[in-house]
Amino acid sequence: MLIIGIAGGTGSGKTTLVNRILEHFPKDSIGVIAQDAYYKENHHLSFEERVAVNYDSPDAIDFALLESHLKDLQSGKTIEMPVYSFHEHNRLPETDSLSPKKVILVEGILLFSVASLRAHFQLKVFVETDSEERLLRRLQRDLTERGRNWDEVVNRYRQHIKTMHEIYVKPGAQYADIILPANQDNSVGINVLTTYIKQYIYV
């Protein structure tokens, strides 16, 4: 099993990269895990308290569960991935099943911040995008898809996102095997990745 970690700042284009890779392969031939699904349960907090959580800190992620799930997949076991609601700022009761695949793509901003998690990735890809572009993408996504308002997104960027990026996300680039500049045409980089993945899919 090939497990590829795809990291980068918020709004850097990680999900877009994953989708472009998937376009080159048969449906369901590659498994996808999003770090965002592994935000910790916060049922003990009020809605207002959940809104105030720093979700860009490693402390907000249940990395132990994510690592456990990667180990289960490698052992041939099906996992039940959490389902997270950005509107509720909490996990939902249901789960998503993922059976073992020859290739698993894991994407998230903090994947390379934890050494034990990095050890599971045979290939590490970092998507690099300038901060202004990332902020614009974050604004567009959170306002249109996640029910946020302008003030909430801007305040979160000032209070959490910018600082956490410098402390935890940006340093992850040093561990990457491949760094892709998201503001340029990534055709060459995607071709390299898909060629590499084909060695595992078509065997």
Quick check: helix, strand or coil at residue 95?
strand
User: pLDDT tens, 94-117?
Assistant: 999 999 999 999 999 999 999 999
Amino acid, single-letter form, for residue 42:
N
User: pLDDT tens, 108-150?
Assistant: 999 999 999 999 999 999 998 666 665 666 666 666 666 566 6
Cβ atoms of residues 91 and 84 within 8 Å:
yes
Identify the pLDDT of residue 186.
Answer: 73
Confidence class for position 157, pLDDT limits 50, 70, 90: confident
d(CA 82, CA 40): 10
Q: What is the DSSP letter of 25?
A: S
Confidence class for position 16, pLDDT limits 50, 70, 90: confident
Is the pLDDT confidence value at 55 over 90? no
| Maximal CA-CA distance, the chain | 51
Helix%, strand%, coil% for the chain, nearest 5? 45, 20, 30
Range in 22-36, 72-86, 173-187 with the lowest mean pLDDT: 173-187
Identify the pLDDT of residue 13.
Answer: 80
pLDDT, the chain, mean: 87
Q: What range does the domain containing 93 cover? A: 2-201
Domain total of the chain: 1
Confidence class for position 38, pLDDT limits 50, 70, 90: very high
Q: What CATH number corresponds to the domain at position 14?
A: 3.40.50.300
Cβ atoms of residues 23 and 126 within 8 Å:
no
